Chains A and B, each alone.
Chain A
């Protein structure tokens, strides 16, 4: 296997691993906050349905954590094995958040274990809820620290290069690089948004399948509202990301928008086809790119023609960017309509077709996260460490990467199918209606044993 093939298979394997891991990681970051909110609402309103929501989500969450641990370990391994030159260089500067990510995960895992095994052990539910705080913090900070590493790859700083060697290393400065705030906030808020819409899809599906239980209606109402709030947050932070890109990675923004000439009053291009440097059949939104980049409709936006041809990212990232943005806007519209409809009593939000749209929102949100990550990673090309190391320079020269790709693909297939089967069985064997009836029977028996009135 030649070096070019090794680079190709290293990129393919890393892409496959990240694309698979991001599904479980996103759910793993977002769901603890959803559990926390549901349990908090349950305690506040003394409503058993919300408490049960938290219990059932927590059970499903454990499966995603288990798979996320396996794929997360694979990423750590592959970073060292597939990108040894990159790790040798970058590891000297950015190892700190990699270690901190591990500690954040330990923090989450320890308290998750205690949380799961202490349901019904506390007379005061608020104390049990407190155990979720470190779980949610650990999950979110895992994402924060690992995204800091990715941000460093986009905007490396905190070191000097003298005679090809790294000197004067400042890890804290490396962590607080310019890409960090927008990237971290965007990753975390979209994890919350996606988790909310995935849980909404499950509730919508149960209602579509004929259940009319108030439990599912409450679940749908709560999660769609949360999805709306977090998708509005994602929109605002996405706008701030545009300002970061215009300032620090203008070629990435220009490639996403097929913006070739540096000019003011730049329009935003949606969809379309590229013919040379001419954009055909696109929807042009006047001034929108200038506003996105500089909050000013007249502002000048740098075009791709300012850069050498070998430093321009692949132009197909335009479609990845459009996919992410289109799904985000669609989810704001759908959840906004639901919220408005629920307040004004519009009947269509309870119709089957609208519930099908809410159901589709789950997988679509996951697709948006995938498209967003592909855009982030491909948009950084040809660099693995922007301005310092190109991707082929960071890769292994091993001749065995193709075999690793096939074996890992098989592993992810087994993990993906296995986790879906386990989740389906877990919830099918223990439907909500039965669990509510069981918990009610338990409560009555407890009251009787205490000599009280069960009613």
Chain B
């Protein structure tokens, strides 16, 4: 288990957060739409 955490897990986390960054980036309703518009959606 420790070998996995030290040798493999760091790269899995790194790749994971890069993918997550691309996934969350396009969502900007919080700044482009008013609260009412967002509620309608």
Contacts and interface: CB of A to CB of B under 8 A. Distances in A.
A341 to B, nearest CB: 9
Interface string B4-16: 0111111101101
B14 A240 contact: no
A229 B20 contact: yes
A181 B7 CA distance: 6
A214 B2 contact: no
A189 B14 contact: yes
Given A243-B2, A342-B31, A41 B8 contact: no
Given A41-B26, A181-B11, A243-B5, A217 B17 contact: no
A195 B17 CA distance: 15
Contacts of A247: 2, 6
B4 to A, nearest CB: 10
B22 A37 contact: yes
B25 A40 contact: yes
Interface residues on B, range: 20 to 34
Contacts of A87: none
Contact of B14 (A37, A41, A188, A241): A188
Contact of A221 (B2, B6, B21, B31): B31
Interface stretch (A230-238, A386-394, A397-405): A230-238
A286 interface: no
Output the residue of B14, B18, B31 with the most chain A CB within 10 A. Answer: B14
A317 B8 CA distance: 27
Contacts of A45: 26
Interface in A8-44: 33, 37, 40-41, 44
A188 B7 CA distance: 16
Interface of A: 33, 37, 40-41, 44-45, 178, 181-182, 184-186, 188-189, 192, 214, 217-218, 220-222, 225-226, 229-230, 232-233, 236-237, 240-241, 243-244, 247, 294-295, 342-343, 345
A233 B13 contact: yes
B14 A243 contact: no
A106 to B, nearest CB: 23
Contacts of A44: 26
B31 to A, nearest CB: 4
B30 A240 contact: no
Contact of B25 (A37, A192, A295): A37
5 contacts: A37-B22, A40-B22, A45-B26, A189-B14, A226-B24
Contacts of A221: 28, 30-31
Contacts of A236: 13
B3 to A, nearest CB: 9
A163 to B, nearest CB: 32
Given A192-B18, A233-B17, A240-B9, 9 more contacts: A181-B6, A182-B10, A189-B14, A192-B21, A218-B28, A221-B28, A229-B17, A247-B6, A342-B31
Contact of A225 (B1, B25, B38): B25
A343 B30 contact: yes
A317 to B, nearest CB: 21
Contacts of B11: 181, 185
B11 to A, nearest CB: 6
Given A214-B32, A218-B31, A221-B31, A237 B24 contact: no
A380 B32 CA distance: 49
A186 B11 CA distance: 9
Nearest to A184: B10
